[in-house]
Amino acid sequence: MGDIATGAKVPRDGRVRVGGNTKAFTAVVVLQLVGEGGIRLDEPIETYLPGVVHGDGNVITVRHLLQQTSGLPNYTEFNLQLRYYEPRELVDIALQHPADFAPGERWKYSNTNYVLAGMLVEKVTRHPIARELDRRIIKRIGLRDTYFPAQHGSTIRGPHPRGYDRELPGRR
Query: Does the reported pTM lie above 0.75?
Result: yes
Span 33-56, average pLDDT:
96
Alpha helices, H only, 102-170: 111-125, 129-133
Write down the mean pLDDT value for the chain: 88
Report the alpha-carbon distance of residue 77 to residue 80 in Å, rounded: 9
The answer on pLDDT for 31 being more than 60 is yes
pLDDT of residue 165: 65
Q: What are phi and psi of 115, to 5 degrees?
A: -65, -45
pLDDT of residue 10: 80
pLDDT band with cut points at 50, 70 and 90 for residue 118:
very high
The answer on pLDDT for 74 being more than 50 is yes
Q: What does the DSSP assignment read for 55-85?
A: TGGGT-BHHHHHHT-S----GGGS---SS--
Residues 61 and 103: beta-carbon distance below 8 Å: yes
| Structural domains of the chain in order of their starting residue, each with its CATH number | 22-138 (3.40.710.10)
Q: What is the chain's percent helix, strand, coil content, to nearest 5?
A: 40, 0, 60
Span 63-77, average pLDDT:
97
pLDDT band with cut points at 50, 70 and 90 for residue 168:
low
The answer on pLDDT for 79 being more than 50 is yes
